[in-house]
Amino acid sequence: MSRLRYFLRRLALSIPVLYFGATLTFIIFRFGPIDPAAAIVGETATEASQAEYLRVRAQLGLDQPLVDHYQQYMLDFFTFDLGQSWVLAQGTDVTDLLVIYGPRTMWIALWAVLIPIFIGIPIGVYAGLHANTITDYLISMFGIIWRAMPNFWLAIIMLAVLSQPDLLFGFDWNSFLVETSVTGTPDLSNLTSPTGFTAATKQVLPAAIVLGSASMGSELRIARTAILETINANYVETAKANGVSRRSLVWKHILRNAFIPLVPTITNEAFLLIGGSVIVEVVFGIQGIGWLFFQASTNGDLPLVTALVFVFIVVVVVMNIIQDLLYLLIDPRVGYEGR
């Protein structure tokens, strides 16, 4: 099987995943414990509210036969017609809400991914190249402790510490570099200027550290283990015997092969970002997709909730496709196994 055919096959397998995910969201919407129309109208038992209830049911398609509703529901989702919010922003298209709230979550996610990659992986590589030293033991202990800290606990602790300069020996996070607060939504309208970029980055940095904390610990430990396994490989010993310099040995032989098991770890951060962004954005008061999902859930805006769930499923599927593509670029053996 060629590498192109392998990738196309993996791409085709994502279609039933999307179909199953959309079907699951339909089941939750149609047969869940909460009546979407009742949640939107409220519990007042007047004649006017009953008429409004029937009108909302008709607009949501709940009065249609099950098969017809399912077909229309799936058609709308796969044409990315995600419908409208019925409680939080009545009459506003979900796609418009994604345009408003999405960039804030993407800005947090960007730093939540970059911080573990540029801190966790290099530290893990260094520990693997200096195995069984005091530095290695300290780094390994740090990785275990950092990985074990729950996101919600770390978020509350960081929020408390950064809000009180006395706990940081007088260091005031709010006035550091530029004037911002620990909580609040970043202003992404002026990222092209140094001041605007610094302010937007500083605003989400505590949330990004919390969101990427679990990934940092995992990437550190996996990078160390991958380096140790690669160093002991036969081809590395052969390269040493042939007089290959240590610099060339590390960069050309060890690192490239050690990065292969790191690919799923990095791409799987998308799963952590989706679930973790809800907690982190609520704690730090950042109005992103996670915050929007939390508000929609607590206010019974089920049309918005189901649309966001489908968006989360699409994000996960896309990350899996990117993971397969990275495998093809890093590991030349992929696609040729079993020939």
Q: Are residues 109 and 140 in the same domain?
A: yes
Q: Is 190 part of any domain? A: yes
pLDDT reading at 13 higher than 70: yes
Residue 59: both structure tokens together: 């607009």
Domain shared by 115 and 261, yes or no = yes
Q: What are the C-alpha distances in Å from 189 to residues 97, 186, 317?
A: 17, 9, 30
Domain shared by 62 and 100, yes or no:
no
Instruction: Give 271 or 220, the one with higher predicted confidence.
Output: 220
Confidence of residue 48 (pLDDT cuts 50, 70, 90): low
pLDDT band at 99 (very low <50, low <70, confident <90, very high): very high
Same domain? For 209 and 291 the reply is yes
pLDDT at 197 over 90: yes
Domain identity same for 33 and 162: no
* 315 or 270, greater pLDDT: 315
pLDDT of 115 reads 84
Q: Indicate whether 116 and 249 sit together in one domain.
A: yes
Reading phi first (left if > 0) and then psi (alpha if -120 to 50, else beta), residue 24 is in alpha
Residue 62 lies in a domain: yes
Residue 329 lies in a domain: no
Q: What is the mean pLDDT of residues 304-323?
A: 86
Band of residue 131 on the pLDDT scale cut at 50, 70, 90: confident
Domain enclosing residue 155, as ranges: 95-298
Q: What is the mean predicted confidence (pLDDT) over 281-294?
A: 91
- Which of 44-48, 138-142, 152-156 bottoms out in mean pLDDT, i.e. has the lowest? 44-48
Per 3-state DSSP, what percentage of the chain is helix, strand, and coil (rounded to 5)? 75, 0, 25
Q: What is the pLDDT of residue 96?
A: 92
- Give pTM, 2 decimals: 0.82
Please, how many CA atoms are within 13 Å of residue 208, restricted to the half-sphere of its CB? 21
pLDDT at 293: 92
Is residue 136 located within the same domain as residue 245?
Answer: yes
Is 256 found in the same domain as 187? yes
Q: What confidence score (pLDDT) does residue 103 get?
A: 92
pLDDT value at residue 339:
46
Share of the chain above pLDDT 90, in %: 10
Residue 139 and residue 169 share a domain: yes
The pLDDT confidence band at residue 270, using thresholds 50, 70 and 90, is low
- The span from the CA of 180 to the CA of 315, in Å, is 31
Amino acid, res. 154? L
pLDDT digits (tens, 9 = 90+) for 167-185: 777 778 888 888 888 888 9
